[in-house]
Amino acid sequence: MESLKGIHHVTAMAGDPQANVDFYCGILGLRLVKLTVNFDDPNTYHLYYGDAVGSPGTILTFFPLGQNSRATIGTGEVTAISFAVPKGALPFWQELLGKHSIAVSAAAERWNFTRMEFQDPDGIKLELVEDPTPRPFSFWKDGGIPESFAIRGFFGVTMSVASAADSIRFLTDRLGAKPQGTPEQSGLFVIGESERAGFVEIVALGHRQRGQMGPGAVHHVAWRVTNEDEQLAWRSKLAESGVGVTPVRDRKYFRSIYFREPGEVLFEIATDPPGFTADEPRESLGSKLQLPEWLECERRFLQKILPPVKVPTAFR
């Protein structure tokens, strides 16, 4: 069976949708590649950001929940999202984020990579990591960030769990993750090919409170497979080993299955195709509300209740 190819996407929860768009498009320079709704709760947007075409491995998505109760950060969830940037890019980002009054940590080395930390408007912990690997991506020229400093996609995620042993065993034995670093540095693993690898850092928090979903929380991380046949093979493998895995769900731009690893972090396995040009051309990605066929009858109602969002064009 083919191995997982790395991170496909990460999905999180936000508060105000316009503040979310302003930050990820206007400041970080990502492209809004799809403006749609949460297929399981159509009264809420589903915003997709990525490179110029929404390549797998660059896609960060959000459910903006408005003024709903804030998240409680704890165990059983992803607690940091790390983006890959080129070597030498951090000074540029420190200056840019500082210009927007965003608090940024000093650059520091961890796991032999130089990185810095900051938060998005809802308090989600983000990292920029200088990664020498030439990660392939499609540069978004209208993002306002020079290509030599632009975000290349995901470097990885940090998982917080009560106890790490079972999660480590699951990642290595079931998902094919490989440990990184020395035996004394246990806790960092990699899934996927070198140029699109997804790093996973596992942090054990002991018996700290379980995380609660809401604005400011990461909902799940999705891993890549090339096609539906590979996805079905993974579903069979997981089910046969006793993992509770969902049926395949059609997300229009990819197919998905979901399951929880032993630390209760929600995982997804998503297919690369069909991609975000399934319902609009590359040049106009994210420019208007897209709905699945079964929700077209609700378009007028949804456009009435969903707040308008506008992609910023001159935030710098």
3-state SS of 31-58 is: EEEEEEEECCEEEEEEEEEECCCCCCCC
Instruction: Give, as one character, the DSSP assignment of residue 212.
Output: B
Mean pLDDT of the chain: 94
Give yes or no for residue 315 having a pLDDT over 50.
no
- pLDDT of 183 reads 53
pLDDT in tens, 33-59: 999 999 999 999 999 999 999 999 999
CA atoms within a 13 Å half-sphere pointing along the CA-CB vector of 191: 29
Confidence of residue 225 (pLDDT cuts 50, 70, 90): very high
Let me know: does 189 contact 287? Beta carbons within 8 Å.
no
pLDDT in tens, 270-308: 999 999 999 999 999 999 999 999 999 999 999 999 999
Let me know: does 79 contact 164? Beta carbons within 8 Å.
no
This model's pTM is above 0.85: yes
CATH of domain 7-305: 3.10.180.10
Give yes or no for residue 106 having a pLDDT over 50.
yes
Q: Percent of the chain at pLDDT above 90?
A: 89
Return the amino acid letter for 290.
Answer: Q
Token pair recorded at residue 51: 């490179």
Return the higher-pLDDT residue of 315 and 227: 227
Domain ranges for the chain:
7-305
Question: How many CB atoms are closer than 10 A to CB 297?
Answer: 9
- pLDDT of 163 reads 93
Give yes or no for residue 23 having a pLDDT over 60.
yes
Question: How many CB atoms are closer than 10 A to CB 72?
Answer: 14
pLDDT in tens, 185-200: 568 999 998 777 899 9
The whole-angstrom separation of Cα 221 and Cα 236 is 20
The whole-angstrom separation of Cα 236 and Cα 218 is 27
Confidence of residue 134 (pLDDT cuts 50, 70, 90): confident
Question: How many CB atoms are closer than 10 A to CB 205?
Answer: 19
Range with lowest mean pLDDT among 130-134, 233-237, 261-265 = 130-134
Give yes or no for residue 316 having a pLDDT over 70.
no
Q: Is the dihedral of CA 141, 20, 210, 128 positive or negative?
A: positive
